[in-house]
Amino acid sequence: QVHLVESGGGSVQAEGSLRLSCAVSGSPVTRGCMGWFRQAPGKEREWVANIFSGSNAHYRDSVKGRFTISQDNAKNTLDLQMNKLKPDATAMYYCAAGSGWCPDKRSYNPWGQGTQVTVSS
């Protein structure tokens, strides 16, 4: 029913910026979790940021002040502005929709296909 497609990934140098977008189609989501996660090779998928109940934004400590999650109602997208990127941000980034405890990846279904972000030092 709900489909998500990420875009905007790429390769940047440290301290650079990228803006990821997640196109959302299907039934509108008016409550619950809309989130961004990332997964590096050999690592667990980890929570990056989410919006709860359409307005409350939360971030993992390591990206606070540098990343901004937002919803663009006109474009039906979930966006992630990433500034001052560090090499440890290199990962496949996924958007997802769900409900429950938003920082927990188990709260989400469905997921997008992912978009690769590579940050060089």
pLDDT in tens, 84-119: 999 999 999 999 999 999 999 999 999 999 999 999
Confidence of residue 28 (pLDDT cuts 50, 70, 90): low
- Residue 107 phi/psi, 5-degree rounding, is -80, -5
* Region 36-51 average pLDDT: 97
Tell the burial category of 49 from Cβ atoms under 10 Å away from its Cβ (0-12, 13-18, 19+): buried
Burial 55-69 (b: 16+ CB within 10 A, else e): eeebbbeebeeebeb
